[in-house]
Amino acid sequence: MTAKKTDNFLPIGRPTKYNEEIQAKADEYLTKWEGLKEAVPTIAGLCLYIDTPKTTMFDWGKKFPEFSTTLGKVQLTQEHTLVNKGLKNEINANIGKFMMYNHGYKEKTEQDLMSSDGSMKQPTKIQLVGVRADDKDADDKD
C-alpha cells in the first residue's frame, strides 16, 4: 500500500504492516486452529497466531476486504464448530451457550401451566355477560 500525498501533507502514523504474507498466515489459521489444540477458532487465537493486536486486526478488517473476509470466516467457523461440538456434547454447555450468544443465539424459557400428569387443571374461565336495563334481577323474583 502506498501512502498518497494530499495538499503537501504526509499521512500521520506508522505505515501498516499488513501485506500478502500476513493475509496468507491469517488464512492459514483457519486450517490449522485444531492442530494448535484450540477448542474453537477465535479472533484472539488469530491475533496470537499472526502476532498482531486485536485493534490492529479490526482496523485491517475495515481497510482491506480480503482480511475482512478472513475475520468473517473465523467467526462463522467458530459458530459452526460450537453448534457441532455442542450437539456431540464435546464442549462445556455453559461455555458453549455463553459463546453462542455472540452469534445471535438466545436461550428461551417457556412456562407450562399444565402438569405432566394432568393433576393441575386449566384456569377457570370467567365470562362476563352484559345485562340489559329491562331484564329483571333474580332477587326480584320473590
Backbone angles phi, psi at 6, to 5 degrees: -125, 125
pTM, two decimal places: 0.64
Contacts of 54 (CB under 8 A, 6+ apart): 43, 44, 47
For residues 99 and 75, the answer to whether their CB atoms sit within 8 Å is: no
Residue 141, all three cell numbers = 323474583
**pLDDT tens by residue, the chain, 142 residues:** 555 554 555 567 788 899 999 999 999 999 999 999 999 999 999 999 999 999 999 999 999 999 999 999 999 999 999 988 888 888 888 788 878 777 777 777 766 666 667 666 666 777 777 667 666 655 555 4
Report which of 90, 91, 89, 109 is spatially closest to residue 99, judged by C-alpha positions: 91
User: What sign does the CA torsion over 24, 27, 31, 35 have?
Assistant: positive
The Cβ of residue 65 has, within 10 Å, a number of other Cβ atoms equal to 9
| 9 strand-pairing partners | 6
